[in-house]
Amino acid sequence: MSTAPIFIVGANRSGTTLLRLVLNAHSEIAIPDEINYFYGFTKTEISYEAWTEPQLSATEYEAFVDRFLDANRPKVRELDLSSVRAELLDGPQDFRRPYQVLLTRWAAHYGKARWGEKTPGNIYHSNILIDMFPDARFLHVVRDPRGGVASMQRVSFFSSDATFNALNRHKIMTHGRDWLARAVPADQRMEVRYEDLVGAPQHTLGRICGFLETAYEPEMLRFHQNADRFMLDEAASTYNQTATRPISPTEAEKWRSQLSESEIAIIERVCADEMDEFGYAPVGAALSWGAACQLAAKRTYWAFQWWRYRYDRHFAVLTPMFLGVRARLRSLPRRLWARWTRMLSTSS
């Protein structure tokens, strides 16, 4: 049995949580809720690119460790984080140890020898992860973009615009996937279709376990019996509720009743290449002239925003087009009136 770390990556709402919970039910593998390790660096002036030598004072490193542990306290609530903190501050200062020690401790708490981590956006940090953990294995979960977009639109932390959601997913399936392929050797990464996982779970999990160099265990398919124990309460009761139930092949086709014909047509055009590559047959929904014009405008807007935020690996459009401009225009009469009244009061 290999003890190499396991990283589950991909687009959000692709089934990464389901795969995490299934693997976490293995007797030798422990994968907690999303640690989001690299996201924390964006709020500081600390660069994770220099992970081997953080160039921090003892006080700065201690503050970093405290922020990291505090942010993840709800996800590893079983652990005594004071002892984790003591271990981290008593050893070498680098940016691998906080990540590794916390996850190793969490796995050991459950008597497991191997840890994993599921943060979908880590696809953009695969170069750092493979540098930190050279023997790591990466599972890239892929889903029919129509199903992924339908799922995104049912949760509050994504856009309700099917075009932007499709463009965001297309970016991960092209730019993000290229990033993963350049960083990680082919024999250390595997693509897993969500539809295969829910449609033929035993066969698919057998392949995954072979890739991970561990034995398949039927117990993994009983993950749902205590899934909520390994999830945030809000996730288990709302946006990831389906992951607390037994695997069902019907989940893969729900997009057919959740999306309009126009939305399906847009997604099929934006994501045509990856649909073809992964065997997702288009239904050939018609795109009206008006919808085609809106798609062209939103593509242009999305591309401009990506250029503006080109240094942000996780860039995504999550708000309506020109939201800031529209807010300023709506407030223009009020601002003009306030200026006018100030001028009158000054003149008087």
Q: In the predicted model, is pLDDT for residue 275 greater than 90?
A: yes
* Contact indicator for 244, 224 with CB cutoff of 8 Å: yes
pLDDT tens-digit readout, 73-124: 999 999 999 999 999 999 899 999 999 999 999 999 999 999 999 999 999 9
Residue found under tokens 């615009």: 161
Predicted local confidence at residue 332, as pLDDT = 61
Token couple for 114: 């191997």
Sign of CA dihedral 205, 208, 210, 212: negative
The pLDDT score that the predictor gives to residue 323 is 47
SS3 assignment, position 38: helix
> The sheet that has 6-10: what strands, in order across it?
29-30, 114-118, 6-10, 137-142, 189-193
- The values of phi and psi at residue 139, to 5°, are -110, 115
- Asked if 340 contacts 346 with a C-beta cutoff of 8 angstroms, the reply is no
- What is the spatial distance between Cα 21 and Cα 222, in angstroms, rounded to a whole number? 10
Backbone angles phi, psi at 201, to 5 degrees: -60, -40
* Res. 331: pLDDT tops 70: no
Residue 239 has what pLDDT? 82
- To the nearest 5 percent, what fractions of the chain are helix, strand and coil? 60, 5, 30
pLDDT of residue 348: 60
> Angle at the Cα of 75 (from 70 to 76), degrees rounded to 5?
85
- pTM equals 0.90
pLDDT higher than threshold 80 for residue 307: yes
pLDDT surpassing 90 at residue 342: no
Residue with tokens 């293995």: 26
Nearest to 10 by CA among 100, 144, 104, 161: 144
Q: Virtual CA dihedral for 83, 30, 20, 198, nearest 10 degrees?
A: -160
For the chain, what is the mean pLDDT?
A: 91
Give per-residue pLDDT as tens, 204-221: 999 999 999 999 999 999
